[in-house]
Chain A
């Protein structure tokens, strides 16, 4: 179901003016709390460093200042930011592809086939899914350090590809939303077990594939701790970790960094926007889909 439900049956009017105005006030205060930093950020990138501190926080700067900030950001360390964004895309898309190839069949198998240790694998999936992903980062580092993979792109892509939540979502979907008779009919029609999956189940599972892809992409793009630990060299940073380099080159936050390649505050603000742009775009275009996804599994009967 979608949370954007059109039923008004369960809605109650908040009785009384005082009750209504208090609740309106609370909602508006939280709108301000959630929105002000974002709006401020959009204005900040159009200002010069001087204007940022003296002009009104919500005034527009100028196009020229925006271009100057842009040039400073992408000129930083000879184009490091472009490299970091490219790294982010590489790690995220690489992990996404492996995640989908691994999780969708696994969720299908857990839901619709029988094999030994199936239940053990399910419990493992649930337990690891509920563990914060950061809890395993240092142990994984210690393990990969032993086998000498530290610094390689694989050291972030492979751990990111292990995505029990995606398997869980797929499992829930296949065990609740696919009519078994349909699969049985396909078998009678002579489909092999593999064809039952590729020709019947998979096309029906398109929404869940999209959902797993979304969660995997957002989580991995925003992942900080894992690449921070695994990738010691600046060349390998994803943009999230690259932000720390920009931060330490910002004299306003790190006075010892004043130099030729220093970063001004509006440039740092622009870096913040650039670092989340792909995720933001996906968020904006998939709100409804997302809302239904976040409550998926929780709302089925």
Chain B
């Protein structure tokens, strides 16, 4: 995936203009088939992209009888005693996760890229990437075992840190770290592969020139490779930030596995879920969903429109 959505669009549009400028006798046929081919996709986009978002807006600004209530629903959820703790939980998790992601993904991509033995680099990337197959509930389940000192393959390490029981491991202060570790374990490999691909794309002349000028590996990584990775790092940051605000399955399963030592309203998405399914307050649930959706939309909008981030150097 990835790269310059905005610039792709521009080149395609320029091409489109050229095509229509040349004028074609076949253009009407092509227009007709265009409509036919996007019809189903447009239908799905309306039904599962636009319509739910609009319906959530309607619900968020009305009450159960459908009367307009202004910002009452938003005031209700924001002043809910569970709301701000959930925001803090998600924020703490995001800070830890994003820092770990940027530092370790970039470092590992650079290190693996610097390897001279080809099979070694290939196998390392594969090993880093493999846990990506265990996403969602499966990876959380696996980490329940790893975090439980009675079964853990690294129980020695856990005990060394003074964690002798599962309940001690999942103390509130540890949770952001735990969720960050799980997310890193499943997600980092994909990004390492992407960064590695980006490193391969750096022109060899530039690297060669740096070497002739006397730069060592560390210097060329710092002065050349790192700046050239900047747009990919930004991309990773934006996407991960957007995904991270949606935290749900990790705290949900941990809550279930700990007899609610971890609360079931730990994250914002869980709180929205509680509103919808425990309190039967769809308007409140819509308000929280809308807040999260607006955050995700803003991030993605900044990304699509500020294409400058993705122009070629």
The interface of chain A, by Cβ under 8 A from chain B, is: 1, 3-15, 19, 23, 26-27, 30-31, 33-41, 44, 52-53, 57-58, 101-103, 105-106, 108-115, 118-119, 121-132, 134-136, 138-143, 145-146, 158-159, 161-162, 164-165, 167-169, 171-172, 175, 187, 192-194, 197, 218, 222-225, 228-229, 240-241, 243-244, 247-248, 252-256, 265, 268-269, 271-272, 275-276, 279-280, 283, 287, 291, 294-300
* B-side interface residues, number (CB < 8 Å): 133
A175 touches B8 (CB 8 A): yes
**Chain A residue with minimal CB distance to B144?**
A253
Judge if B248 is at the interface, Cβ distance under 8 Å.
yes
Report how far A219 CA is from B208 CA in the complex, Å: 40
**Chain A residue with minimal CB distance to B283?**
A142
B153 touches A40 (CB 8 A): yes
A126 touches B13 (CB 8 A): no
B208 touches A113 (CB 8 A): no
Report how far A118 CA is from B29 CA in the complex, Å: 16
**Chain B residue with minimal CB distance to A161?**
B44
B152 touches A142 (CB 8 A): no
Instruction: Indicate which residue in B129, B142, B202, B252 contacts A10 across the interface (CB closer than 8 Å).
Output: B202
B52 touches A36 (CB 8 A): no
B3 touches A298 (CB 8 A): yes
Q: Nearest chain B CB to A41's CB is how many angstroms away?
A: 6
Known: A1-B200, A11-B116, A142-B59. Is A162-B44 also a contact (CB below 8 A)? yes
Residue of A39, A146, A295 with most chain B CB atoms under a 10 A cut-off: A295
**Chain B residue with minimal CB distance to A103?**
B41
Judge if B78 is at the interface, Cβ distance under 8 Å.
no
**Chain A residue with minimal CB distance to B154?**
A36
B34 touches A109 (CB 8 A): yes
A142 touches B1 (CB 8 A): no
Chain A residues closer than 8 Å to B45, beta-carbon distance = 121, 124-125, 128, 162, 164
A109 touches B38 (CB 8 A): yes
Chain A residues closer than 8 Å to B13, beta-carbon distance = 119
Known: A12-B207, A121-B42, A247-B256. Is A276-B138 also a contact (CB below 8 A)? yes
Report how far A39 CA is from B66 CA in the complex, Å: 55
A35 touches B34 (CB 8 A): no
Chain B residues closer than 8 Å to A244, beta-carbon distance = 137, 252-253, 256
B108 touches A26 (CB 8 A): yes
Instruction: Indicate which residue in B20, B242, B285 contacts A131 across the interface (CB closer than 8 Å).
Output: B242
Chain B residues closer than 8 Å to A33, beta-carbon distance = 185
Q: Nearest chain A CB to B221's CB is how many angstroms away?
A: 8
Q: Nearest chain B CB to A97's CB is how many angstroms away?
A: 12
Report how far A136 CA is from B293 CA in the complex, Å: 7
Chain A residues closer than 8 Å to B299, beta-carbon distance = 130
Chain A residues closer than 8 Å to B27, beta-carbon distance = 114
Judge if B249 is at the interface, Cβ distance under 8 Å.
yes
Judge if B226 is at the interface, Cβ distance under 8 Å.
no
Q: Nearest chain B CB to A56's CB is how many angstroms away?
A: 9
Q: Nearest chain B CB to A155's CB is how many angstroms away?
A: 11
A139 touches B56 (CB 8 A): yes
B1 touches A294 (CB 8 A): yes
B111 touches A27 (CB 8 A): yes
15 inter-chain pairs at a CB distance below 8 angstroms, sorted by A residue, are: A12-B216, A30-B104, A34-B127, A105-B40, A112-B30, A115-B34, A130-B242, A140-B48, A142-B282, A142-B285, A162-B47, A265-B151, A275-B141, A294-B190, A299-B197
B131 touches A38 (CB 8 A): yes
Known: A34-B185, A114-B19, A139-B56. Is A275-B138 also a contact (CB below 8 A)? yes
Judge if B91 is at the interface, Cβ distance under 8 Å.
no
Judge if B292 is at the interface, Cβ distance under 8 Å.
yes
Chain A residues closer than 8 Å to B42, beta-carbon distance = 106, 121
A3 touches B200 (CB 8 A): yes
Report how far A145 CA is from B41 CA in the complex, Å: 22
Q: Mark B263-293, 1 if CB is under 8 A from A, else 0.
A: 0000001001100100000100110111011
A298 touches B304 (CB 8 A): no
B33 touches A243 (CB 8 A): no
4 smallest CB-CB distances across A and B, nearest first, come from A113-B34, A130-B300, A295-B197, A109-B37
